[in-house]
Amino acid sequence: MSEDCSPDAISCWMIENFKHDHGYREPFKVLISTILSQRTRDENTDEASRKLFSVFPTVESIAAAKPEELYGLIMRSGMYRQKAERIVNCARILLEKFDGRVPDTIEELTSIPGVGRKTANIVLNISFGKEALAVDTHVHRISNRLGWVKTKTPGETEFALMKIISPHLWGPVNGSMVEFGRQICRPVGPRCRDCAISRCCDYYGRISKEDIRQ
């Protein structure tokens, strides 16, 4: 890590050292797998997505299904009843309003119930190559700990980060910051002593060495 503690420099370092593979690139599969990823771990999302798409591989097939037909396939992802309802409803809306295609604007995507800005931004970046910044709990927590922002919600964090991180970094930094948050800057018991950017971190500067050892 260089001496540069700017958001762009740290974002580049995270992208280089904490690589994250989103897996799918097809817009519909990215959209559905991101809905499945809500409040669960990657391995659960991967298994649920694989099982779901092995039986219902297209927007048409999911739209024609009943939510309960998805339960056993996506159970691993948690909240499977709610997610099944959202996924089937999402597929039906795509057919009815968008001719079966996944729209490529934030406004259209977030008009679909169950699709928030985080999900929409992931689809825009991964599937359409657009400059979009997805902010989840990891990105929100780490950005505040570093002292880049002082925000209360992921929504506030998204717009604050867009002002201080270069647009070409918005897409890739999401996945890398998620990995960094899982491995190093954990919600509970962050591994500050193992962190290469601790000298750039407001949180590290505030806590005592005794706190770090615990």
Contacts (Cβ under 8 Å, ≥6 apart) of 1: 13, 196, 197
The SS3 of residue 1 is coil
Annotated binding site: 185, 192, 195, 201
Q: Using an 8 Å Cβ cutoff, are 139 and 178 in contact?
A: yes
Note the pLDDT of residue 170.
96
Residue 27 clears pLDDT 70, i.e. is over it: yes
Note the pLDDT of residue 3.
78
Average model confidence (pLDDT) across the chain? 93
Q: Pick from 109, 126, 125: which is nearest to 117 by CA?
A: 109
Q: Judge if 61 and 99 occupy the same domain.
A: yes
Q: Judge if 179 and 97 occupy the same domain.
A: no
Q: Judge if 112 and 143 occupy the same domain.
A: no
Look up the CATH number of the domain holding residue 13.
1.10.1670.10
pLDDT in tens, 42-82: 889 999 999 999 999 999 999 999 999 999 999 999 999 99
From 19, 51, 118, 150, active-site residue: 118
The number of CA neighbours under 13 Å toward the Cβ of 110 is: 11
pLDDT in tens, 90-111: 999 999 999 999 999 999 999 9
4 is catalytic: no
Q: Pick from 133, 179, 139: which is nearest to 15 by CA?
A: 179
Note the pLDDT of residue 211.
58
Which burial class, exposed, middle or buried, applies to 152 when counting CB atoms under 10 A from its CB (0-12, 13-18, 19+)? exposed
Whole-prediction pTM value? Answer: 0.89
136 is catalytic: yes
CA 53, 55, 56, 62 torsion-angle sign: negative
Look up the CATH number of the domain holding residue 96.
1.10.340.30
From 8, 136, 163, 209, active-site residue: 136
**Could you list the residue range(s) of the whole structural domain that residue 184 is in?**
7-19+134-213
